[in-house]
Structure 1
Amino acid sequence: MKAVLMTAAGSPEVLQVHAVPDPAIQGDSELLVRLHAAGVNPIDTKLRQRGTFYPDQMPAILGCDGAGVVEAVGSGVQQFQVGDAVYFCNGGLGGHPGNYAEYAIVDEKFAAHKPKSMSFAEAAAAPLVLITAWESLYDRGKLEAGRRVLIHAGAGGVGHVAIQLAKLAGASVCTTVSSPEKAEFVQHLGADRAILYSNSDPVKETLEWTKGEGVDLTFDTVGRMVLSQSFAATCIYGDVVTILAPDANTDWKTARDRNLRVSFELMLTPMLKGLTPAQQDQAKILQQCARLIDQGQLKIHLAHTFSLDEAAQAHRVLESGSMVGKIALVME
C-alpha cells in the first residue's frame, strides 16, 4: 500500500510517500479498514517537528483520525461487518501506525459507524476534535443549560465544534476570532457574541458581556497568554479548561484568588497510557456525535482536502495559522 512515512523530525519535507506492506489483522477484535480519508491535526505537525512519542520506532505513519470501509474482520468482531463505513481516532503517535495510508488496523472497540450524512473526508476530519470538545465541555467543564461559556479560537478545528456542543447543551456562547469573516462564521454556528481579539481586549469584552461577573466556563484552545486571560474572564468559582500546557508566565494567582477549578484536556491520554475502557468511552462519544450529525444538529467544517502525495502541503497550510475548520487527506 501507499503510506506517508515520517523518516525523521523536521520540516514538512520529511513526509514522503512510500510503498509499504499491507497491514494484517493480528487480533480477534480487529478490523482491516481501507481508508478513504485521514484527518490532519495540530498534533501531527507537532510530532513531525519535534519527533513522535516513540522515537525508537521509526519511520512513523502519522495521523490519528481516519475514515473508511471495513475490508476484513477478526474472528471475534461483533459490532461491524465487511462493507461497513467507520470513523475513528487511533494510532498515529509513533507507535501503532497512523492513518496517512491506504489501509489501517483498528480494534473494533475504538471505532464507530460513520455518520451517513457525511463524506469520508468530513468524517475523517471529525474524531479528535469531537472527542476533545465533548470531553472538555461536558466531562471536565460539567456544562449545563443556562451557563455562559467563553470559547477561544471559535473558528478553529476544536473551537467550531465546541460552539455547537455548547449551544446544544443550552449555554450562551462568546468566542474569540481574528477577523470579521471568522466572526460571521462562528455566528452562523450559533455563537451569541464574537470578539475580534486583534483590535479589542477579550477580557474586557467578556466582562462587559457578563455585566462584570465573568463567564461560568472558559475553554482555552490556544494556550500561552490566553490561559491567563481565561482566568481573568471567568467568574469566581468558575471553570477553566485548557488543551495546552501552561507556560512559565501563567497567572496562577488570579486563578487562585478567584477560586477557579482548572482542568486539563488531552484526549490522547487513553491511547498513550493504554487505557482501553477510556478509549471505548471515546468511541461512544463518536457514536453519539454521529447521531447528532445525521440529525443535522452538528457539523464539521472541512476547509481543505489534499491527496496523500500532498501531505507536506497540508501541514504547511495547517501551520500557517489562518485555518477555519479542518483539513483532510483523501486517498485516490
Structure 2
Amino acid sequence: MRFIDHGQGGGPEVLVSRTCPVPIPAEGEILVRVAYAGVNRPEALQRKGLYAPPPGASTILGLEVSGEVVSLGVGATRWSVGDKVCALTNGGAYAEYVVVPEGQALPVPAGLSMLQAAALPENFFTVWANVFQRGGLRRGESFLVHGGSSGIGLTAIQLAKAFGASVLCTVGNAEKAAACKAAGADIAINYRDQDFVDVALKATEGRGVNVVLDMVGGTYVERNLRALAVEGRLVQISFLESSRPELDWTPLMVKRITFTGSTLRPRSLADKTLIGQELVDQVWPLLSAKRIAPVIHKVFPMDQASHAHALMESSEHIGKIMLEV
C-alpha cells in the first residue's frame, strides 16, 4: 500500500509517499480501506518528533479516517466486511489501509459523505470528552473557546450551541469571526484588538463564563481564570504557548474554579469506546438532521500531505484540512 512517510522528522517537506505491506488486523481490530483522512496538529507535532505514538501503535501519521471495512481480526464482531465507517485511529491514517480497534470505529452518520465523515472523529471525540464530559457544560451556561475557527473550535461552537449554551470564541481576523458566527457563536472576539476577558465579563454582566476550552496556555491561563465565573471550569487540551506559565493562582481559590484537561491519544480503548458510543447516541442524530456539520476548508490528494501540513501550520485555514486517499 501507499503511505506518507515522515522519515526522521522535520518540516512539512519531509512528508513523502512510499510503499509498505498492508497491515494485518490483530484481535479485536478491523482493517479499513481508507477513503479520506483528516489532518490535525498532533500529527505535525509527531512529524517534528515532539509527539510519539503510544506503545504498539502505527508509526505512520494520521488519527482519523473514513472508509470501508475489508477484513476482521479475531474476535471482532461489531462490524462486517463492506461496512462504511469513520474511525479514530491510534495512528496510520495517512495510508491506503489502516487497522483500527473496532470500538473506535463509528457508523457514517446518515446523509453525510465519506469526506464529511472523515472530518468527525478527532474533533468530535476531543470536544465531547473535554467540553461535556470533563467541563460539564450544561444548557443555559456560557462557554468560551479559543481558536474558534479551527476544526476543534468550530466543532465546539456548534455542539455548545446545539446543547443550549451561549457561545463566545476568539479569532484572529474578521473572516474567521464571520465563519464562527455562521457556525453559531454569539460573540466572536478578535484577540488582536480586543481583550477577551473584558468582553467575556461584559457579555455575562460581570459574572464570567462557566466553561473555557483552551489550547493556547501560556499567558492565556491567568486570563482564563479572570474570565471564568464562580464554580467555572477551565479545560486545557494543548499548549501553543508555554506549558509552564507564571501566574497569580488566587482566582482559582476565590472562584472555586476547576482546572482540568486531557489528551485523547493515550486514553484507553474502553475510554474511547465510551466516548464514541455517547457521540453516536447524542451527537450523530444532530449531524443526520443537519443541525450541525463539519466545516471543511480544503482537500489535498494524499501525495500532497506536505502542502496540507504547511497550510495547517500557517493557521490561515478555517475548519478542517483533509487528505483524499
TM-score normalised over the length of structure 1: 0.91
Q: Percent identity?
A: 33
Distance 1:151 1:4 in 2: 32
Contact 1:187/1:194, CA 8 A, preserved across alignment: yes
Contact 2:128/2:279, CA 8 A, preserved across alignment: no
Contact 2:161/2:184, CA 8 A, preserved across alignment: yes
Alignment of 1:169-208 (within 5 A): 169-208=163-202
1:60 CA drift (Å) = 2.9
Distance 1:57 1:80 in 2: 23
Q: Which residue of 1 aligns with 2:93?
A: 99
The one-letter amino acid of 2:245's match is: A
Q: Does 1:282 align with 2:280?
A: no
Deviation per CA, 1:298-318: give whole Å up to 9, x if none. 210010111111011110000
Contact 1:37/1:121, CA 8 A, preserved across alignment: yes
How many corresponding residue pairs? 321
Gaps of 5+ in 2: none
Q: Does 1:296 align with 2:290?
A: yes
Q: Which residue of 2 aligns with 1:39?
A: 38
Alignment of 1:24-103 (within 5 A): 24-27=24-27, 29-53=28-52, 60-92=59-91, 98-103=92-97
2:255 to 253, 258, 264: 258
Distance 2:55 2:130 in 1: 32
Task: For residue 269 of structure 1, give the secondary structure of its aligned residue in structure 2.
Answer: coil
Alignment of 1:109-148 (within 5 A): 109-148=103-142
Q: Does 1:323 align with 2:320?
A: no
Gaps of 5+ in 1: 93-97
Distance 2:199 2:44 in 1: 32
1:256 CA drift (Å) = 3.1
Distance 2:231 2:151 in 1: 28
Going from structure 1 to structure 2, the CA distance change for 1:215 and 1:88 (only over 3 Å counts) comes to same
Distance 1:105 1:99 in 2: 9
Contact 2:58/2:90, CA 8 A, preserved across alignment: no
Q: Which residue of 2 aligns with 1:14?
A: 14
Distance 1:243 1:156 in 2: 13
Deviation per CA, 1:184-219: give whole Å up to 9, x if none. 111111111111111111111111111111111111
The one-letter amino acid of 1:105's match is: V
Distance 2:79 2:122 in 1: 21
1:79 CA drift (Å) = 2.1
Q: Does 1:240 align with 2:234?
A: yes
Q: What is the RMSD of the two structures over their aligned residues, measured on CA atoms?
A: 2.0
TM-score normalised over the length of structure 2: 0.93
Contact 1:65/1:90, CA 8 A, preserved across alignment: yes
Contact 2:42/2:51, CA 8 A, preserved across alignment: no
Task: For residue 297 of structure 2, give the secondary structure of its aligned residue in structure 1.
Answer: strand
Distance 1:75 1:208 in 2: 57
Instruction: State which drifts further: 177-186 or 314-323.
Output: 177-186
Contact 1:65/1:128, CA 8 A, preserved across alignment: yes
